[in-house]
Structure 1
């Protein structure tokens, strides 16, 4: 399996989860994906 096979899907999932995560120091839904 090559990184280009799953990178797009992984990025989409991280963006989706970042909208649901709340972390101290970040506004809700504004957590950076990196």
Structure 2
């Protein structure tokens, strides 16, 4: 996540994942793209 420029700690990320799976997927896709 840091390499993708996303500054969210793990607790907030877990909250997003449980509350809004679509937003979590968008964050995960962005992080994955930054690593590719």
> Which TM-score tier does this pair reach, normalised by the shorter chain?
0.3 to 0.5
TM-score (norm 1): 0.45
TM-score (norm 2): 0.43
In our comparison, the structure showing a higher alpha carbon Rg is 1
Q: Which has the higher contact order (CA 8 A, sep 6+)?
A: 2
